[in-house]
Amino acid sequence: MANFAGRVVLITGASVGLGEGAPLHFAKKGAKLSLTGRDTTRLEGVAKRCLECGIPDGDILTLTGDLTDAAFRKTTIEKTVAKFGSLDVLVNNAGLVFPGESMGMSETQYDQTMDLNMKVPFLLSQLAVPNLEKTQGNIVNITSLSGYRAMPEIGIYCVSKAVLDMFTQCLALELAPKKVRVNSVSPSTVPTAIFGREGSDKEASVNPLGRLGTPQDVAEAVGYLASDAASYVTGQILLGDGGRVCAFK
């Protein structure tokens, strides 16, 4: 069982959706948590649930803001390291999707999707890597099965996640000599605020395991890649999809 006692884990987009599962997983493993989100109330709610897992109040830092803002990105890294003294794991989870045909998407929607889904992980990683080099830590990016298989109605989202997967592999090669690992977890449909439950029954019916994924399923995969159990794993895209890609319809 992975143990993160004393390790510092920064999770973006931790106030909603998949981001709610990862903090609880790491809290149960004894990690010190730095959590970002846009909704203060929801973020504090997640922090409270982490405390209920048994970690001390002083082992959680919550930071509310917009990661597309350069000042907030810089503050996020600086405050995390100032509070805990180091950084061991960066989980780039924050994401955005605008459902609809690509040709109907506005330039603003395109920019917002690419900014949050790709540009933010890129720039936040730049800020985090000097600290991760000191701890020989790692980065886990949350991508998507839709970055692996083309899907209608969410075309630009698919593109943004495909780009993030490629960035994962390129960065893994660049940072391997410095003993910093970089991997992705690519889930299939997980009913969250970002996607809702529309089409969930149909999606579950064609999934080989007969159900949709949960935030906890994704968190377990993230926890594995971030742990010492995966110390020889880098540049990998872990499809946590219940076998969906094998039976794509």
Residue 94 belongs to a domain: yes
Residue 199 belongs to a domain: yes
Residues 6 or more apart from 128 whose CB is under 8 A from it? Answer: 10, 77, 87, 90, 139
Residue 247 belongs to a domain: no
Q: What percent of the chain has pLDDT over 70?
A: 93
Provide the whole-model pTM: 0.93
Residue 248 belongs to a domain: no
Q: Is residue 157 annotated as a catalytic residue, yes or no?
A: yes
Residue 2 belongs to a domain: no
Read off the pLDDT of residues 21-33 as tens digits, 9 standing for 90 and up. 999 999 999 999 9
Among the listed residues 110, 148, 157, 224, the single catalytic one is 157
Residue 244 belongs to a domain: no
Would you state the structure tokens that stand for residue 134, as one six-digit string?
């000191």
Query: What domain range includes position 69?
Result: 8-239
Read off the pLDDT of residues 25-82 as tens digits, 9 standing for 90 and up. 999 999 999 999 999 999 999 999 999 999 999 999 999 999 999 999 999 999 999 9
Distance, in Å, from the CA atom of 111 to the CA atom of 106, rounded to the nearest integer, reads: 9
Read off the pLDDT of residues 104-145 as tens digits, 9 standing for 90 and up. 999 999 999 999 999 999 999 999 999 999 999 999 999 998
Work out the pLDDT band at 208, boundaries 50, 70, 90: confident
Specify the number of domains making up the chain.
Answer: 1
Which residue in 50, 78, 48, 75 sits closest to 64, CA to CA? 75
Asked whether the predicted pLDDT for residue 99 surpasses 80, the reply is yes
Which residue in 191, 189, 220 sits closest to 206, CA to CA? 189
User: For the domain that residue 112 is a member of, what is the CATH number?
Assistant: 3.40.50.720
